[in-house]
């Protein structure tokens, strides 16, 4: 698959994995806060963390063929 994967930092990592025959994914799950690159960063929206974790762990289970 020769998808256009943009300019995120992970683009280089995904490309290298694909060049070696692997599969890679990047997903972005955000919340409403002022940004990550700040000296006073803290996790402000703790209610969204379980949702993001559920999406990520569900995806891992799906690609591994696990129904648990």
Task: Quick: pLDDT tens for 14-63.
Answer: 889 999 999 888 877 776 666 667 777 777 667 788 888 898 899 889 98
Residues 6 or more apart in contact with residue 17 via CB below 8 angstroms: 23, 24
Quote the pLDDT of residue 18.
92
Residues 6 or more apart in contact with residue 14 via CB below 8 angstroms: 5, 24, 25, 26
Confidence of residue 4 (pLDDT cuts 50, 70, 90): low
- Between CA 12 and CA 52 the distance in angstroms is 23
- Between CA 24 and CA 16 the distance in angstroms is 9
The half-sphere exposure of 26 on its side-chain side, counting CA atoms within 13 A, is 15
């Amino acid at each position: 698959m020769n998808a256009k994967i943009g300019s995120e930092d992970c683009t280089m990592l995904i490309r290298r994995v694909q060049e070696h025959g692997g599969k890679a994914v990047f997903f972005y799950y955000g919340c409403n806060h002022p940004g990550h690159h700040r000296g006073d960063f803290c996790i402000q929206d703790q209610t969204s963390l379980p949702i993001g974790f559920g999406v990520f762990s569900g995806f891992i289970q799906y690609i591994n063929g696990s129904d648990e």
